[in-house]
Amino acid sequence: MSEPKGKFKSGFVAIVGRPNVGKSTLMNQVIGQKIAIMSDKPQTTRNKIHGVYTTEDKQIVFLDTPGIHKSNSKLGDFMVKSALGALEEVEAILFLADVSEELGGGDRFIIEQLKKVNTPVFLVLNKIDKVQPEALLPIIDKYSKLHTFTEVVPVSARDGNNVTTLLEQIGRYLPEGPMYYPADQITDHPEQFICAELIREKILQTTREEIPHSIAVEIESMGTGDNGVVNIGAVIYVERPSQKGIIIGKNGAALKEVGKRARHDMERLLGSKIFLELWVKVKEDWRNRESVLKSLGFRHD
């Protein structure tokens, strides 16, 4: 894609919503490649993920924020503050709601936060593939009674239905501006960050026990060997020895499966063969230890 000619529009857009309403799925659908991890467990996203969508006439930089929820740890506090802080940095806010679930206290809490900002707020009703079309109008009416939304756009982030319309609507609210990132760049996060997130995603997908928020992943080494193979060494941190056993599994089977799945996605991401080594270490109560949180990248800008 060549440099933009004429009037070029650009800006930042935050994606907010209750945990597990499909924020990461929407951004991955827009970008066309996995940069945010997906899981059926809530509160999967921990950092603001910057996804970059560029066309000939506009560039939208998306912030996929952690789900806004009632916090019970310092990590949780970080996630909520990160999400609310994003509302002050953007040209538009996409408030995602799951139409397959009832409007709940979490939605109402977020809407109350949205009332405090002057930024245009879109109501994006996600998962329309799960309801009958005639059910949408009553749902829109329920949300519209709580807040005056700038636009209302029903979508299916998973299938891509109406996502193009959403992008066109966003474009109407962007100011004229520069191309912040090269046209072929889809995220501002380093490859190490995305690789760590891919490993964490595979743990969330393969582990059914209640340990998803007790894990963190750190890439300790990453480099290309003489044979062109990218060598990656990563540590998975847990809070208790019992969790270490769950992640490793019988005869190391669970950890091997995590590595196999993560390596597959990394090879697609990097376009190279991957040699991946994983270790599991215990850091007791790491989610409430400021020094550990900072070392793992959980810090406020």
| Numbered residues of the known binding site | 17-24, 64-68, 126-129
The type of residue at 126 is N
User: Where in the chain does DSSP place strands (E)?
Assistant: 9-17, 49-54, 58-64, 92-98, 121-126, 151-154, 216-224, 230-238, 274-282
Residue 44 near residue 38 (C-beta atoms within 8 A): yes
Strands 92-98 and 121-126, how do they pair?
Answer: parallel
Provide the annotated binding site for GTP. 17-24, 64-68, 126-129
Measured distance CA(82)–CA(42) in Å, rounded: 16
Strands (E), 103-257: 121-126, 151-154, 216-224, 230-238
Phi, psi of 225 (to 5 degrees): -80, 175
Distance between CA 45 and CA 72 in Å, rounded? Answer: 16
Listing DSSP states for 126-138 in one string gives E-GGGS-GGGHHH
Assess contact for 244 and 282: CB atoms under 8 A: yes
